[in-house]
Structure 1
């Protein structure tokens, strides 16, 4: 897999102009001065692969400090931002990968983007052979802030990084899930069935409870049968006789417990039950409306008239007949019969309304009676005690404690009081029923309901509200029960009859809970065993993987810093754990001496730490089989002594190992070495320039003499001494002469006179001689002036006169870039090189 091209628009230093770079070589070398877009290029590739920016994850500061940091600051808010690449797969097919920025960073909110391949949205590029790993460094892109990440991060986070890198995160995740499952099983709350069994184990029937706890059977049904047998044995022990079944045993024990409790104290006689819900009052509005619409006499006679017309001889008469009601001779004529039929049709709706109303009121009376009975039944049965029973209970109360008789007296007074209130409620209900009975009669007779003769519940509702308030309050019965209940439990606790009854009633729950408990114990033991095995296995696998990675890091370290007495000894776990990881250095006094191991962070120099960070990154890329690596300033300028080893050894090994390598650097010497030493790979070189911040960084291919001379000039551009800047003067003068010859040769050839750069050199070689020949071919008035200024600024630097300042050199460099850009835009590929 190879990157064929890269296109960027609107991302950081890249602006309104979409910039495309040809990447059809295995080695791409990009040179750029400071603030020209070099790091933006690397971060664009990172964004393309991951959709994120490691800068925000690894730098300090608040998240809000990275607001709107991906979009070029000079672009309108709705301008599109994208990074795209052509990726050639193993079959030679080029797929277009494109990531568009949807929303930039905002406060704590992450950025959002859309990734497509050939226009189809995808979630990752793994199917193209580009995998990302967990953690901040997810892409095969080495940036300055990621160079030392694995070194500067805490040992625990370093372990997480290496585990993700070495595809060991799944092992940790699996172990975490095993441990979480075990923790969940350890903290399962005890169910009601097992709790009842625990209470039984503290009574005289403890032997039966223990026997149940020790049951170990293969399935739930067998466990149930075994439990029933033990419980029936316990019932025989309590009752002195066998029971037919579990249900029969429950019934017998329930009766026994009630009898025993009543012998101690009849607390059940003080149970208060709330009455049922009051029935809804019937709605007579439809009937009342219909009856008022009809004539009162017609409504009263409606049943009579209906009966008359049901006689077949009358319904179809064609001559007068005697009236069967008033016995008037010839009182019913055919016309009169038709009139009655018409009136009956008009009152059909009244008949239906009256029938519905009558049924509704009758049903209400039935439900009202049932409700009144529930009010009577809500009164505790203690109200029915006679004097003898009351004295017997008072005697039992005195035997419980000194406070119980007082509470008993208050409770009896309370039940008598609510009994009286209940009777008032029942009497009010009877009054309501009497009114309802009158309503039934009126409706049955089709008589209008007089004003004020409705079913009123005002008095009943007031009495009922007072009654219910007194029932639900913390009353004397509550106080009595609170005091007596613990005493009853204590008196009967040791024998266990009540606890046995509780277990029997919760038998289904007990069977399910104990069966699950046995299975849970087995699974918990297996999970803990698996956790121990996984911990040991993870350590073994880590050691093996670390050994392989250490070997890779050592090899890359040796390519950058060969034959040094300070070396790298490997990635190692701290002690026997798998949580902390150290990077170990090997120190030798001489080439033949034994190495002393120390933590690399404590003994490596700044330069060595940079080399270790680079070596670790390359080992990572090798282990995950990344198809390409992007190295942003891999050798810092302060470590110039190792430029040659990097370009000659490290780059050569990367290329021969099958990697596509993209190197960006601000160091012109490193760029020149990388290109020259690896010329056999046909490298493509670029210069990045930022002439217009709105249009953005522009990559220009520099695989020609002009670009090479410009690159050489960068080395002495910022030199503090005149001697150092003279080298830049020479390079920029050579670049100007080369560009002038190209422009002259191109224009003469375009006019029909074929001319090469060599032909121009034979005519004029020095810049002063070339400038007059350039006159007709300049593209703007200021270009002529710039050509005139160039030798005036650069010539003193080529002689013993004082060299120009860095500011002047930068101005000349900018002029040459602008002139070259203008002529390249005009001639394109036709510009003779």
Structure 2
């Protein structure tokens, strides 16, 4: 028979987000300004600095399978398949069977490390590779995450000769190909919401110095956020104070250096730097000299960059002008000019005839300009064209040559304009005058003496420009030797001083935020511990069973970097006692679980599973029953996977009829590991039904009712498992999945949700099942549902067989 292991009013067991606790405290403090509050929340990793769970598109991640090859006790590839959703799974097997290798492999694939090896000698890591599998080692973790890409595989693979740290780490969002998985992708989340707990970690809570226990609980409970927040604020304060101190020291050193420089600008700069809070805008203007130039010499460098056409270019243009000017002077006679005018007139006449057709001559009117006239005129045009071709070509070439002259620089460049920043040694007037003469020539009309004037003006301009650029280079060299080396240093200081000025308000805020957070830490820690302590005490109360040890408050005293210890209020038969001194090993392990489970199952955690390795050791039988109850209760909202070689936990689950899947791991020769299903809720219900049939003491009517009830429960369990699997695979948020699961109140509603999805109508279920699979599914569901209430038209053995066939169909 089914027994519901879920308590009627289970404590929440989730700690509120630290930012929410701090936000309320900040809001309640009238002496805290808005900027101080923002600084505190940023230090705590609040919204403004990013939510660590934002890496996940959804809000949860479950385990589907752990596949291992060549790692620890597993040789050839073996797969541990899990139901990716809330529920309890026990992985059992004798010591050395390889079950813990699955747990350690999952932890290594997800976190990149293994707490079992932390703090131990290198010998613990040397045996990580399986001795019987000489090829490549591989761990593959199949996950189901809510969100847009629900199917995720994380894998680590080692070459045959690779060390443990030389794995290739990949992730794959199906159906996309694998990509590299960054080692620190989830490190913050895994530190804060660690879902793994090994037997060695339970021992770490009680071994060693009091500070070790403090640090273990501090990290286990996520309270190191407080220390990290204080450290962030302190680091930022030190950074700003260091920048302020360095800027002040550099200013004093610059004043000393500038005092030794014989330069007017250095004197002015030293004066500007004198005040404790100098005028940064005035310093900027002095450095840049009114232009955006670090040395105040951009105008001088522009003068040096000025260039003129070469003498060869000017000579070429002048020679062309001379050449064609002579041809024109020689050939431009009165007869030639007349021929040109006649040629132009004849061409115009031909164009007129082509436009209007045959017509009387518009000049004499005596002859008709017809075809015969056209032939004569074309001959005349050809003769005149040949006669004056040389003169016309010379004029065209002269025009091109004059244009080439005009393409030479024809304006005075702005670099030669008066610049008050230029020193007296840089006089641009002679060059400006020479350039003005040159520009006037290049835009002038043609004259016979133009070539010679071009040459003279160019030669003068070249001489004047060379003289100016020589003096400018000397001035630049002087600046480079005296002033320029100081400019980069001044600019660097100016950037730093601006940053210091811009951050002055932040520094004041940071100091107040640090003081506030130090004062509030004790209270914040108490508030952070309160909900976890409530759940921890509930877990302890359930686990301790017949123990006479009563757990009270749990307090952390001290801070990281100072004397630290854990204060556990314990009473033994209502008498105060020292916790570690009065608890047995099993009780201390129970205490470890009491502290682990509340933190691992907080609502903010993106990991919807917890994996616990060997928690049963040193527990007496009564505590094992309590452990089974706790795990079953946690499994209502989490996927709980427990590895154990102790048969007592599986026996307690069976005896208390708690819903759980039991997987058995066996190791054969040469590290061949096999995993088989020992039992699961569906199988257990069907086994119970068969047992009832074989119980002759039960009256037939009662037996039939109980068998039908077991069959109905098997159908419900199989339906809910499929519904969770399908909805999570579709990317639905796990909270939404559970809401739809809880809203399915009847067996038919559960089946409809499993096979038809969200929003399906139960009234349409029969039609859907008939079309999809056939009438037998409808009949099996009807009889399993109704058999507990009314007689049905089939025997119970047949009902069990049909139910088994039905749940197998649901599992596909």
TM range (shorter): 0.3 to 0.5
Q: Which has the larger radius of gyration?
A: 1
Output the TM-score relative to the length of structure 1. Answer: 0.42
Output the TM-score relative to the length of structure 2. Answer: 0.43
